[in-house]
Amino acid sequence: MNVEDRLRRKVVEVSKRLYDRGLVAGAGGNVSARAPMSEEIFITPSGLCKGHLKPSQIVKVDLDGSVLRGRLRPTSEMPMHNQIYRMRNDVNAIVHAHAPVSTAFSCANRPLDCSFYPEVIVMLGEIPLVEYVTPTTRDLASVVAKYVDRHNAFLLRSHGPVTMGANLEQAYQRMELLEDFAKIFLVSKLLGGAQPLPPGEVQKLLGLEAEKYRIELTKKRE
C-alpha cells in the first residue's frame, strides 16, 4: 500500500472512531494528515458524516488550499489546518472535534486547567482557550496561528477542541485524552474543585516531557 492510500484509510479510520465515540456528530469536525516530507494534505470533505466516509472521498490538497485530487469540497476549515502545517514541521496530523464536554467548557468560556492532572500535563501540556471568531472563516486560521507554536491542543471558543500530532494516531489519542480530562475536570468541580499537585510537581512533569521529546528527536536523527 502506498503512502497516499495508507493516509486516506487512516483519515477514514480516525473519523469513524471520532464518530463512534461521540466526539463528533454527523458532518461535524474535521481530520487531516500530511504526507511525510511533503506539502500534500489529505483532509475530510465538507458535508459528509464522519462515520461513513470512504477513502476515495478524502480530498488531497496542497498547503495553498488547491485541490490536487478529489471531486468533493474539502472542509471549510482547511485554512486552519494548512496554517498549522505551515508553522509546525513536526505536526503531520490534525483532529478537530465537537466533543461534548470540552466543547461545553469552550461555550462557557471556561479554560481547562490541567495543572492538577499529571497525564494531561505530560501528554498535552497547557490547553489554551482561543478567542472566538466565526467558524469556517479565514480569520480562524489567523487567530489560531497565535497559539500553534507553543501548544499541541487548544479549545476554540464556542466551537470545540483541536489536537495535533506527529501522526494521526497521536492526534486522535490526544483528542480522546482531552475529552476524558474535561469530564474529570467537570466532576472535580462538582466535588468541590480539584486539589493542586505538590509544590514543584508540575515543573517535574514538564521536565519528563521535555526529556521524552529529546530522546525521540535523537532517535529520528540516528
E-state strands within 76-208? 93-96, 129-130, 153-156, 160-165
Which residue in the list 39, 40, 77, 209 is annotated as catalytic? 77
Whole-angstrom Cα distance, residue 22 to residue 24? 5
Residue 77 annotated in active site? yes
Residue 134 cell numbers, joined: 466565526
Beta strands 129-130; 153-156: pairing state: parallel
Inter-residue contact 1 to 17 (CB < 8 Å)? no
Query: What values do phi and psi take at 169, rounded to 5?
Result: -65, -45
Q: Which helix (H) or strand (E) holds 33?
A: strand 30-34
CA-angle at 145, arms to 179 and 29, nearest 5°:
40
Inter-residue contact 8 to 1 (CB < 8 Å)? no
**Nearest Cα to 144, choosing from 85, 199, 220?**
85
Residue 5 cell numbers, joined: 492510500
Chain centre to alpha carbon of residue 147 = 13
- Name the residues annotated as catalytic: 77
